[in-house]
């Protein structure tokens, strides 16, 4: 099968792993983050981490939209579904089992009588709204730039049809600001040497979108496809840049990604959405200009405005380390709940629920799991003396 078989060729894979081993410079370690959860699962599925030399370590990033949604936003959706019998809440399947405050979820809300429905696309949400003209249909929208254009298209279609019983609870987030946040904050995680850039997101926003990140932090970015040879080749390309002291944006996934991206999708997003001043991310905190809201021109289809949904501060399981995993500070198996209280059958955090979550990926390869968390070899700062004026920033 074209674009599948040739990217899983064992002989080519062995050649790439030899190239990676040959590129390791004596005494040097390479800390590379695969930002996208799709890459995390490709790495786990094909056992790629086990093929790498000890000096090369892959770190899981926050590129899972289900995982980065803060509990408070999920609590807002649950409160709406429970308090309004006239509301049909639609969303994607992964979000149904994510624990909200107190261990509740959209599944438990549905079991208690709320009308919560899993859909496969925004077209399904439109169909539900057409079939239930006397009900309020709310689409709980999540995702990075990949799933944002379909949400925008649904609102444009709703306007064309005069479909006033559909609204969107918008939780779409943006990739480049999250990469900036990861690179800027190394307080509890080792500094990164390179980023494996997301594939599907990049088909929409283009490779040029990451140029400011690479220039500002001096960290190379290589956009990779999801097949095993895509990932291995991206590692080779990153190591070549690191060894040469370069920090630019390169594209391994040239069969799908261009410099400028999909202009049609970008125009559609610009028509319907605008950037929020700030948005809360699980594990990363409030990030400026990192998410989208619905423009005033489409306010009639904005669930937050229509239902006056007040912000909520959620409560995660106190022992869940999902936030630290999303920052790359911990590996999934460093969480004391992993494989014990937290399993795919009994998830305590979003990283174990989502099909793109780092903990779910680690669970699939747990028999051969090894500590992939990079060790921070930087000199530790000496504690300031009492009265020295040192303090928290």
Residues 91-118 pLDDT 10s:
998 899 999 998 899 999 999 999 999 9
- Average of per-residue pLDDT across 210-234: 96
- C-alpha 48/C-alpha 257 separation (Å) is 23
What are the start-end ranges of the E strands in the chain?
30-36, 56-63, 87-91, 116-118, 136-143, 166-172, 194-197, 221-223, 249-251, 273-275, 278-281, 285-288, 292-294
**Cα separations in angstroms, 49 against 202, 231, 344:** 24, 11, 22
- C-alpha 103/C-alpha 89 separation (Å) is 19
Cβ atoms within 10 Å of 175's Cβ, excluding its own? 24
Residue 198 contacts residue 230 (beta carbons within 8 Å): no
- C-alpha 66/C-alpha 281 separation (Å) is 11
Residue ranges, CATH 3.40.50.11740, the chain: 10-317
- Average of per-residue pLDDT across 295-300: 96
Smallest CA-to-CA distance from 96 within 311, 319, 283, 350 is with 350
Confidence label for 2 from pLDDT (cuts 50, 70 and 90) = low
- C-alpha 166/C-alpha 341 separation (Å) is 39
Residues 116-144 pLDDT 10s:
999 999 999 999 999 999 999 999 999 99
- Provide the CATH topology of domain 10-317: Rossmann fold (3.40.50)
Assessment of whether the complete model's pTM goes beyond 0.85: yes
């Amino acid at each position: 099968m074209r674009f599948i078989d040739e990217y899983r060729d064992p002989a080519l894979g062995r050649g790439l792993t030899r190239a990676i081993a040959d590129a390791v410079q004596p005494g040097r370690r390479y800390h590379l983050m695969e930002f996208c959860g799709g890459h995390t699962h490709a790495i786990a599925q094909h056992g790629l981490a086990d093929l790498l030399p000890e000096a090369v370590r892959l770190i899981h990033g926050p590129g899972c939209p289900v995982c980065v949604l803060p509990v408070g936003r999920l609590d807002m959706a649950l409160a709406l579904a429970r308090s309004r019998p006239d509301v049909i809440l639609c969303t994607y399947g992964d979000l149904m089992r994510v624990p909200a405050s107190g261990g509740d979820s959209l599944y438990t809300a549905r079991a208690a009588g709320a009308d919560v429905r899993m859909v496969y696309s925004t077209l399904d949400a439109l169909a539900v709204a057409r079939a239930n003209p006397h009900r309020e249909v709310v689409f709980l929208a999540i995702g990075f730039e990949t799933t944002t254009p379909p949400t925008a298209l649904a609102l444009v279609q709703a306007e064309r049809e005069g479909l006033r019983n559909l609204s969107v609870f918008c939780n779409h987030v943006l990739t480049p600001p999250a990469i900036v946040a990861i690179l800027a904050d190394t307080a509890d995680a080792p500094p990164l040497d390179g980023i494996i850039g997301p594939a599907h997101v990049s088909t929409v926003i283009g490779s040029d979108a990451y140029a400011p990140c690479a220039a500002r932090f001096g960290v190379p970015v290589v956009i990779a496809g999801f097949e095993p040879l895509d990932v291995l080749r991206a590692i080779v390309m990153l190591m070549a840049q690191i060894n040469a002291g370069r920090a630019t944006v390169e594209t391994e996934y040239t069969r799908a990604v261009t410099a400028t991206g999909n202009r049609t999708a970008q125009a559609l997003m610009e028509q319907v959405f605008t950037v929020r001043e700030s948005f809360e991310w699980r594990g990363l905190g409030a990030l400026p200009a990192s998410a989208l809201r619905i423009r005033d021109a489409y306010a009639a289809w904005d669930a937050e405005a229509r239902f006056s949904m007040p912000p909520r501060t959620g409560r995660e399981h106190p022992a869940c380390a999902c936030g630290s995993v999303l920052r790359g500070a911990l590996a999934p198996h460093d969480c004391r709940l992993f494989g014990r209280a937290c399993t795919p059958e009994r998830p305590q955090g979003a990283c174990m629920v989502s099909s793109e979550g780092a903990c779910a990926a680690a669970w699939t390869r747990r028999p051969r799991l090894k500590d992939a968390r990079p060790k921070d070899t930087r000199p530790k700062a000496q504690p300031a003396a009492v009265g020295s004026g040192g303090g928290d920033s």
